[in-house]
Chain A
Amino acid sequence: MRPDLLLKVLAKFLIPFILIFAFYVQFHGDFSPGGGFQAGVIISAAAVLYVLAFGLELAERGIPLRALQYLSSTGILLYTGVGVACLLKGGNFLDYSVLLDNDVAGQHLGIILIELGVGITVASTLTLIFFTFAHWSRHS
Chain B
Amino acid sequence: MIIEWASLVCLALGGLLSMAGGLGLHRFPDFYSRLHAAGLSDTLCVALIMLGLAFQAGLTLVSVKLFLIFAFLYFTNPTASYCLGHAAWRSGLKPYRRGQES
Contact = CB atoms under 8 A, between A and B. Distances in A.
A73 to B, nearest CB: 34
B75 A10 contact: yes
A37 to B, nearest CB: 22
Interface in A1-59: 3, 6-7, 10, 13-14, 17
Mostly, the B contact residues are: helix
Interface residues of A, number: 7
Contact of A14 (B75, B83, B86, B90): B75
A95 B17 CA distance: 53
A7 B75 contact: no
Interface string B18-51: 0000000000000000000000000000000000
Interface residues of B, number: 8
A10 B79 contact: yes
Nearest to A18: B72
Contacts of A6: 79, 82-83
Interface string B70-81: 001001100100
Given A10-B75, A14-B75, 6 more contacts: A6-B79, A6-B83, A7-B79, A10-B79, A13-B75, A17-B72
Interface of A: 3, 6-7, 10, 13-14, 17
Interface of B: 72, 75-76, 79, 82-83, 86, 90
